[in-house]
A and B are shown apart, each in its own frame.
Chain A
Amino acid sequence: MGADATLVGRSFPPTAPYLVTEERIAEFAAATGGEYAGGPAPVTFPIVVAFRAMQDLLADPDVGIALHRVVHGEQRFTYTRPVVAGDLLSATLTVDSVRRIGGAEVISTRSEVVDAEGAHVVTAKAVLVHSGDES
């Protein structure tokens, strides 16, 4: 199992809506060297939503990649507006490319994170590297 070229261009269903609360932001801020005092969430907070979309990709019956065989190769966030408490966020992941480099599959993904109204909040681009060697 693994990723192949047939995945390219495929979009996965939006993740279940995730309610951003002050408590979740505070936990994330505390885990990333900060302290939450109200206002927007830390810049990398949307990974919480994007990670769920990535897990759906890995768990897909056509893909079937175990999480521990995946290394995060690259991550990028591009914002339209900050994330704040009260946001109901959902991520839709699309596979942009799959390349084979050596024995590894390099999967480039893009998760568009939108709010309850469907308005764009942030794009989270991730490159996932799957070492196909099961030995």
Chain B
Amino acid sequence: MKAGETLPVQEFRVTRADLVRYAGASGDLNPIHWSDRIATSVGLPGVIAHGMLTLGLSGRALEVWAGGPGRVVELGAKFTRPVVVPDDDAGVTLTVAGTVTAVEDGRASVVLEVTCGGEKVLGAPKAVILVASEAAHPDAPDEGGGPDEVDGGRPGGG
């Protein structure tokens, strides 16, 4: 991993079922993430994804790039645009792109671009990941391939 390197884009599909799954796993039962009635009552266009689900998927992408969990030592972003998730089977697709901006003392700074439908949904998302020797020389066979389609929550799905 070196400064200027562009990391392979990762995609995550998010449906209403994924919001329910995230609510259960995180304990965040805020009804704006599952009730259109309450979401619209507070001025939202409809049910929106948890900002933390978007950030969690971004964290997953970072862990894939870093070579596993435990190597992302800093992660932060502003939730600038709500991700509206329609009540249908298709849901929406989040796209996570990353660029390495600096590598120093075994740590890589990564600037993310997280979009949905071509619009940025996170403000100034950035992270610091540990660059271990294994992470610096990944032996994954599919490096450099197209975007990985990952079902937003179903391990091994997609």
Whether both chains belong to one complex is answered with: yes
Which chain A residues have a beta carbon within 8 Å of chain B's beta carbons? 24, 27-35, 39-44, 47-48, 51-52, 67-79, 82, 125, 127, 131
Who on chain B is nearest to A41 by CB? B69
Task: Give A43 Cβ to nearest chain B Cβ, in Å.
Answer: 4
Residue tally, chain B, CB below 8 Å to A: 47
- Contact status of A44 and B55, CB under 8 A, knowing A74-B77, A77-B74, A78-B73: yes
A67 to B74, CA, bound (A): 27
A30 to B79, CA, bound (A): 22
Interface of B: prevailing SS: mixed
Q: Scan residues 11-30 of chain B and give those whose CB is less than 8 A from a CB of chain A.
A: 12, 18, 21-22, 24-30
| A72–B153 touching, CB < 8 Å | no
| A39–B76 touching, CB < 8 Å | no
Task: Give A133 Cβ to nearest chain B Cβ, in Å.
Answer: 9
Q: Which residues of B contact A29 (CB under 8 A)?
A: 69, 155
**Does any Cβ of A come within 8 Å of B102's Cβ?**
no
A44 to B88, CA, bound (A): 27
A32 touches which one: B27, B51, B78, B153 (CB < 8 A)?
B153
A32 to B153, CA, bound (A): 5
| A51–B28 touching, CB < 8 Å | yes
Q: Which residues of A contact B31 (CB under 8 A)?
A: 67-68
A127 to B73, CA, bound (A): 20
- Contact status of A44 and B75, CB under 8 A, knowing A27-B25, A32-B60, A33-B60: yes
- Contact status of A42 and B69, CB under 8 A, knowing A34-B63, A75-B77: yes
Q: Which residues of A contact B21 (CB under 8 A)?
A: 30-31
| A42–B25 touching, CB < 8 Å | no
| B30–A68 touching, CB < 8 Å | yes
| B26–A28 touching, CB < 8 Å | yes
A24 to B154, CA, bound (A): 15
